[in-house]
């Protein structure tokens, strides 16, 4: 569902790589981490449709039919072509949300006039294309449907965010982890959190793979 060869999904600048093998049912327990945000390398200064389809590799059909709510820097998006991703932008993707709030924030929805103060409005001409990073967040069904692909290729995130996520996981989460490697060195399950807590804040390339 995503382009696994796209430059936007590669993580060559991470300080260390953490690879985790988990059970098939354990993979979904990692999806909430995607809602906290991860960095994506791309060409900033391009519009949202270009970034999501050409850089990340989402199909136009998926973007139109499944992604019902798009936020850019906290503002709801109706026109993907008129919305430009800048350096350190935050892009959030969600499937349809329930109730009036979901209807109001749905891209191009009937009730979009009710959220004029929270709708993205910017001048695309002020941006120039260049290599850079933005933060992506995936929620609900979008995280469930795209999560496996992103985690398999690898996501780039701050070690502090990963540490906080892991520190809040129950024993059942850790029992599903079958193998952990830090920079290709086999690591015991109980040593991963200790390692992250004891290291200075840094970037991590995280891969999570479901193994039979």
Tens of pLDDT along 41-76? 999 999 999 999 999 999 999 999 999 999 999 888
Q: How many CB atoms lie within 10 A of CB 136?
A: 24
pLDDT of residue 91 exceeding 70: yes
Domain boundaries, the chain: 7-210
In this structure, are residues 142 and 1 in contact, taking their beta carbons and an 8 Å threshold? no
Least-confidence region, from 29-38, 109-118, 176-185:
109-118
Distance in angstroms between the alpha carbons of the first and the last residue of the chain: 21
pTM over 0.85? The answer is no
The mean pLDDT of 114-134, rounded to a whole number, is 66
Cα–Cα distance list, 90 to 34, 48, 68, 93, 153 (Å): 13, 11, 17, 10, 20
**Range with lowest mean pLDDT among 12-26, 38-52, 78-92, 172-186:** 12-26
């Amino acid at each position: 569902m995503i382009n696994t060869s796209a430059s936007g999904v590669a993580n060559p600048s991470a300080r260390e790589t953490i690879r985790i093998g988990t059970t098939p049912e354990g993979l979904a327990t990692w999806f909430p981490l995607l809602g906290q945000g991860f960095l994506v390398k791309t060409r900033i200064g391009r519009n949202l449709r270009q970034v999501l389809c050409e850089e990340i590799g989402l199909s136009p059909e998926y973007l139109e039919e499944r992604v019902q709510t798009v936020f850019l820097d906290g503002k709801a998006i109706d026109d993907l072509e008129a919305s430009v991703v800048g350096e350190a932008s935050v892009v959030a993707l969600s499937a349809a949300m329930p109730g009036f709030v979901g209807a109001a924030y749905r891209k191009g929805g009937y009730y979009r006039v009710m959220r004029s103060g929270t709708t993205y409005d910017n001048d695309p001409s002020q941006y120039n294309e260049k290599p850079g990073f933005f933060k992506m967040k995936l929620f609900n069904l979008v995280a469930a449907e795209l999560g496996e692909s992103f985690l398999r290729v690898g996501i780039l995130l701050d070690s502090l965010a990963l540490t906080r996520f892991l520190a809040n996981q129950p024993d059942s989460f850790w029992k599903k982890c079958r193998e952990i490697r830090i920079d290709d060195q086999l690591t015991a399950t109980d040593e991963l959190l200790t390692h992250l807590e004891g290291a200075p804040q840094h970037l991590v390339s995280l891969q999570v793979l479901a193994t039979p």
